[in-house]
Amino acid sequence: MSKRTEEHKRDSQYQQAKKQGYRARSAFKLFEIQKRFNIFKRTYYILDLGCAPGSWLQVSKKFAIENIDRYKDGFYHRDHFKILGVDIKKISAIDDIHFIKMDFSQPEFFDHVKSFFQGPKIDLIISDASINKSGNKFSDQVKQVKLCNSALVFVDLLKYKGNFVIKIFEGEDYKNFLNQLKKKFQIVKAFKPQTSYKVSNEVYLIGLRKK
């Protein structure tokens, strides 16, 4: 076990996540985003890009189930949920969640998503995907933005007024990607959860209410 892995497992947030049944401390980041922006309101069809090890899928399932019970007012009620996760890494199965092991930047994955959700019906797209950092902040930021652009194409399958959450690194190309989101969503906010490591340059962009 590497020193970095040992330190991660001693992390209090990691230990708390395990106690609560979540696969990673990143679950708490998504809970923070939900508390601030209410992204899961009336969400039943959810796409998670770069989902390993599965903690965001777990959180998504929790809210989807709650929504089925909560929203019975006829405004936008579905009696079921559909959650799809994708990653190049294999993950342990989660009941009632569909997983595909592949690179979501590959064109054929778009067809998989369209078929699974049967059209532009996704309520929420989330992505905590990250490149493997090299330590060079400039090149890492460029690669992460490229990954974010690969995720952005799936907004076409998001329903009107649907929401979008993605991790990006601050740097030279950050503003350009932010401006792209502003063209697609009525509201765009940048947010750094308290559970993010202080030394990390990661930030989450929240696109609310797709145009």
Q: Give the residue numbers marked as catalytic.
A: 167
- Which of 143, 145, 154, 140 minimizes the C-alpha distance to 179? 145
Tokens of 172: 């030279």
The verdict on whether omega for the bond into residue 107 sits within 30 degrees of 0, i.e. cis, is no
Cβ neighbours of residue 184 closer than 8 Å, sequence gap 6 or more: 152, 155, 164, 207, 210, 211
Question: How many residues are there in the chain?
Answer: 211
Distance in angstroms (rounded) separating the CA atoms of residues 114 and 180: 22
The widest CA-to-CA distance across the chain, in whole angstroms, is 53
